[in-house]
Amino acid sequence: MPNDDLDQFPTPSDSAPMSAPPAEPTPIKPDITPPIEPTPTPENTFEETPDVLPAEPVYSAPAVPEVPPEPAPATIPTPKGGSSFGSLIAIVLLLISGVALAVTVFLFSQTKQLKQQLSEVTQTLEQQRTTITPTPTPTIIEFPTATPTPDSTESAVMILPTPTATISADLPTSLLQPLADATKALKVAINHLPNAQLIIIKTENATSPTLATTKYFFRQDLTTKKYFYVLISNTQEPEVVDRAIYVTPDNNIPSLNDVVLGNALGLELEEALKIANQACTSQLCSTAVVKAQYIKSGQNTIWQLTFNPADTSQAPLIIQLNSQTKEIIYHSTGF
C-alpha cells in the first residue's frame, strides 16, 4: 500500500490469513538527523593528582525558624545639650562633696575643742570639790555725815516716821535680836517709800548689848539701785537714814520682804553666835569684835559672822550658817 502523508502503514485485518506475495520493499525515507559520533572509550590511564584537593562537599544546616526580637525597653529622651547637663551634674556633685568634707573637718575640730573644754571643766570641778569658797556678800559703802555746825548743814536726810507709824523699840536687855525687829524696820521703810525692798540686815558690835546697832538696808524698789536704811539701836527709836549709800555688787540681790512677812527668817543672831563660838578653835574668837550680816542667796538665807581680832595684825575669822538648817556653809581657818 502506498505510504500516506503521515508516514503510517495500515494495520492488517484480522479476518482470514492470506498469503501474499512478498511485498516489495518500501523505500524508507531518509533520516535527516545527523549521525551521533561514538564516544571514544578512554584508555586505562592515571590522572595526575591536582595540587589542590577538591573541597569536601559542604552540607548546609537546616534553616532555623526566626525568633521575633524582644521589645527593647523604652528609653528616656535625652534633653538637648546632654553633655552640658552631665557636666552640670558633675559640678554639683563635686560641690556637695566639698561642702560635706568641710563640714566633717569643722565638726571634728569642734568635737576636739569641746572635749578639751569638758576636760578643763572637769578639772575645775575637781578642784572646787576640795576648795570651799564663801558665798559673796555685798560691800556697803557709806559717806559719813559731817557734824553740823552753825556754818554747815547736815548732808544726810534724817526722816522720822509719821505719828501714825510710830513704833516703840522694845529691845531685849541682853543681845540684840535683829530678826525679831525686821518687821518693825520694814513697816518704817514702807512708810518712807511704799515699794521699798529689804535686802541686807547688818549688825555691828553683835556681842556688846550697849554698843550694838543694826541697819536694815533697803532698795528703793525692785529695780532702782538707790538705797537707804533703817537704824535701830537700844538707845533711840527707829529712824530712816537716806544718804549716799552704795552696795557693791548689787547683782539683783533678792528681796527679804516675803521672808519677813511670812515670819520665815529662821535662826536668830544670838543662836548663830553660839554655834560659831562652839565651832571656833582659835583663841581669837573670845576677844574679837563680831560683825553680822543677814542676806538671801538663791533660795537660802544665811548668816555671815566676821570675827575681827583685837590684834589687828591677825586676819578676820569668817563663818557662814544656813539660817534655816543651822548648817555651816563655809568657815575660814580658825573654825
Peptide bond into 249 cis (omega under 30): yes
Which residues are CB-neighbours of 287 under 8 A, at least 6 positions away?
Answer: 309, 310
Per-position pLDDT tens, the chain of length 335: 555 555 555 555 554 445 555 555 555 555 555 555 555 555 555 455 555 555 555 555 556 566 666 665 555 455 455 567 778 888 888 899 889 999 898 888 888 888 888 887 777 666 655 445 555 566 655 544 333 333 333 333 333 333 333 333 333 334 578 999 999 999 999 999 999 999 999 999 998 878 889 999 999 998 888 999 999 987 778 899 988 888 877 778 999 999 999 999 999 999 999 999 999 998 889 889 999 999 998 889 999 999 999 888 899 999 999 999 999 999 998 88
What does the pLDDT read at residue 154? Answer: 33
Q: CA-based Rg of the chain, rounded to a whole angstrom? A: 67
Residues 148/154, Cβ–Cβ less than 8 Å: yes
DSSP states of 190-257 as a string? HHH-TT-EEEEEEEESTT-TTT-EEEEEEESSSS---EEEEEEESSS--EEEES-EEEE--S-PPP-H
What the block records as the C-alpha cell of 34 is 545527523
Whole-angstrom Cα distance, residue 205 to residue 229?
18
Q: What is the pLDDT of residues 128-152, one digit of tens each?
A: 554 455 555 666 555 443 333 333 3
89 SS3 class: helix
Which residues are CB-neighbours of 190 under 8 A, at least 6 positions away?
Answer: 196
**Range 59-62, long-range pairs (CB < 8 A, 24+ positions):** none
Residues 326/273, Cβ–Cβ less than 8 Å: no
Whole-angstrom Cα distance, residue 185 to residue 179?
10
Whole-angstrom Cα distance, residue 326 to residue 303?
9
Burial category of 174 from C-beta neighbours within 10 Å (exposed 0-12, middle 13-18, buried 19 and up): exposed
Which residues are CB-neighbours of 107 under 8 A, at least 6 positions away?
Answer: none
